[in-house]
Structure 1
Amino acid sequence: MRVRSVNYVLCRAELARPIPLSCGSLTHRNFGLVRIETDSGIEGWGETSVNFPPWTYRERAATIEEGLAPMLVGEDARDVLRLRDMMVSATRPFTRMWSEGAIAQAISGVEMALWDALGKDLSQPVARLLGGARRREFECYATGIRADDPPSGARDAVAAGYRAIKMRVGFGDEKDIATAHAVRAAIGPDIALLIDANQAFDLPRARRMVAALAEVDPYWIEEPVLNDDFVSQARLRAEFPGVRFAWGENAVRLSHYRKVAEERLADILMPDPCRCGGMAAAMDAARIANASGLPVSAHHYGSDVGFAAMLHFMAACEHTDLVLRDVAPAALRDDLIVEDLTPVNGIVRLPDGPGFGVTPNAEVIAASQYRI
């Protein structure tokens, strides 16, 4: 089974209302899919994260189709780890001149598509290829609640059956603190409240904000400082032993996962298979976390192609925590596959079938594909 072609497929939809984040604003939802065709007729599908910066969706086309595809065409698609290592080795010098994260995210989508193709070729789910499915149901937390009215959005998510809600901060300290209290009041004391700062704070501001946000009993506070600012993370960990910190959605180096895990700079690690280098890299990060006694809670902010892949990753992990589910209005996110992966009462099941167990919706993909 040899690789015949590697293509980047961008599906893009303008949002009726922009989504504010501490690092900018999303005016579109971009979903960067990767399709690998083999000479045996099998297709593998993966996803690469193309959220930020705003020009990422254009860069990714060149990185995948001009940089990675030529080295894969003609190779045996079943040699997933060998091909992953080949891509990493060939692009390593470029990380000194171009974004290391962008290259890792490009490799993520291609490697993910190779796993999907291998699973289909062997008639096996990817979770089994990664070591075996330890679980088939996952409790989700809802993220992407209404930015214009977070308390109402949180109530809506609870009404839909979610027992854990994530809100974002980084929009002004007093506003953030007031919103956190309002969301806690809206959902009551028994619903887990997760808080994501998206790396918004320097250390002095993070110290003030963590102290204030601790008053709402957060389930975790996520990435209050830059993800590679280990000095600040160590200070926060030491000063707030009663607060759980989550880290890792933006990490791409295994050495960073090892440092955070071994030095206990966070309590939950969050590898993103669409960002960190793919399924195998995410599994490496999970093993590091689990070996240090820490759970993983995979990150994914994209389409249900990547969501299905993320579930297979989480299924194969030994020790896990909650699973992210984006509930913001974005029909294209759900409609790029035929199957419905919407959680029921906050619970989502591992997709059945070979590969990632989902079927790309050819009509929707064709209708929403954005030509660069």
Structure 2
Amino acid sequence: MSEAGRADAAGFALRGRQDEADRGGASLTDHSVDVVIQDVKAYRFDAPVVPPIRSSFGWVTERSCLLVSIEDTDGQVGWGEIWTGMPAFGAGHRYDLLTHIAAPLLIGQRVRRIDHVSQQLHAAMLPIERLAGEPGPVSQVIAGIDCALWDLAATRSGLPLYRLLGGTGATMATYASGIRPDLDPAAMDTLRQAGFRAFKFKAGFDDAATLGHLRRQGRDLAAGEHMMIDANCGWDVAAAERAFDALAGCPLEWIEEPVGPEVADDAWHRLAARTRHPLAAGENLLSRSRFEAAFDWLGVIQPDLGKWGGVSGVVPLARAALAHGLRYCPHSFGTYVGAAHAAHVLAAVGGDGRLELDVNVNPLRTLSAPDFPDVIDGRLTLTDRPGIGIAVDIAGLSSLR
């Protein structure tokens, strides 16, 4: 960490001591961690999207990723992914928040409770949230840091993360995500050959054509296959109702983000009552209270570990969702670092949720961890390697520069 970075963080500080915080209540798990942070590194990469991906919010022509590594004084390293999303150049701002503000606060800190570190970072960076109006980027940076600390803790323990978190089963259902609604049958067969048995199609744009394509995809499903759609907040309430009616006979496992999180709660209730298909959302919610409010109208909860909460926030949220009778299906649409964290948390909390795996061409994903587990007959099985169980390949990603 540069002296300039330390200077930028001079006005911020972590408040409270970890040992004092420990007396405040029960830990997320029974595992105790005691590490001193020696270094925090950030790795930002960009790549063109060929072919471009069409969504309700436009065409995605470039993708980015921001990975964070945290090294302790024993030389052990943990990895996390900070959501960057669209526009891709937003990764630069999150990189600056990480390197100039968050990282200097962490270096030299003794960590005993990871969830308390995240709370302290939120308190320290609250002026940025307030004055710059940036709860999203701040939450994303802290979420990625939290994930990296949990990977570090599991690596030090010699356990895969899901087992450190109390999970026992290493196998989970998956689905192929980000599929264009008009994908031809031959390309669908390629996804089947890659092991997938469930498929999520893009929606929320060009309804005159797209809804017909979706009905055709539903008719073409083989026995034992499943489909979902994701409108990416592309409809208003009236358009969503029309789409629901048009897709009433389609075998949908869920309808994701038909409208945006800013839409009033009563409108979400109205939409949930309009369709027999469960509604899904969560990647764009930024507080535990908003998630808990959404329990009333959602059937599927989808937080992204790199956007909000990290492991410390999402594990208790997912368990609460399951206790409420909902499904937990983590959102993941970045590199294999984020996907690995999502897989381990899904394995830890259990339930019948599915792991989201982006199937669009993305060298940032494929180069990030070539040893990411394969999908076999619709399911993925985690290894017994410590931590998140993958070898992050920074050299491979650097080849894109």
Cα deviation digits, residues 137-168 of structure 1 (max 9, x gap): 11111113356635543333234332211100
Provide closer, same or farther for how the CA distance between residues 210 and 148 of structure 1 changes in structure 2, counting only shifts above 3 A: closer
Shift of residue 54, structure 1, vs aligned partner: 3.4
Structure 2 unaligned segments of length 5 or more: list them: 1-34
Equivalent residues of 2:63, 2:88 under 8 A apart: no
Partner of 1:30: 64
- Structure 2 residue corresponding to 1:108, chosen from 143, 146, 160: 143
1:127-276 to 2 correspondences below 5 Å:
127-130=162-165, 132-146=166-180, 149=183, 151-188=185-222, 190-229=224-263, 230-240=265-275, 242-261=276-295, 263=296, 265-276=297-308
Provide closer, same or farther for how the CA distance between residues 93 and 235 of structure 1 changes in structure 2, counting only shifts above 3 A: farther
Cα deviation digits, residues 251-305 of structure 1 (max 9, x gap): 12100111111x2x01111111111120111112202211211120111001111
Partner of 1:69: 103
| TM-score normalised according to structure 1 size | 0.92
Partner of 2:322: 290
Distance 1:32 1:61 in 2: 7
Shift of residue 185, structure 1, vs aligned partner: 2.9
Distance 2:208 2:246 in 1: 10
- Structure 1 residue corresponding to 2:373, chosen from 313, 333, 341: 341
Partner of 1:328: 360
Identity %: 29
Structure 1 unaligned segments of length 5 or more: list them: none
Match status 1:87 vs 2:121: yes
Structure with max Cα Rg: 2
Shift of residue 336, structure 1, vs aligned partner: 1.3
Per the alignment, in what secondary structure is the counterpart of residue 365 of structure 1?
Answer: helix
Equivalent residues of 2:63, 2:86 under 8 A apart: no
Distance 2:286 2:180 in 1: 30
Distance 2:182 2:269 in 1: 34
Shift of residue 16, structure 1, vs aligned partner: 2.2
Shift of residue 219, structure 1, vs aligned partner: 1.2
- Structure 1 residue corresponding to 2:84, chosen from 50, 75, 79: 50
Equivalent residues of 2:179, 2:359 under 8 A apart: yes
Aligned residues: 365
Provide closer, same or farther for how the CA distance between residues 78 and 354 of structure 1 changes in structure 2, counting only shifts above 3 A: farther
Distance 1:100 1:13 in 2: 26
Provide closer, same or farther for how the CA distance between residues 244 and 274 of structure 1 changes in structure 2, counting only shifts above 3 A: same
Equivalent residues of 1:271, 1:299 under 8 A apart: yes
Partner of 1:309: 341
Cα deviation digits, residues 324-349 of structure 1 (max 9, x gap): 11111224312212413221222111
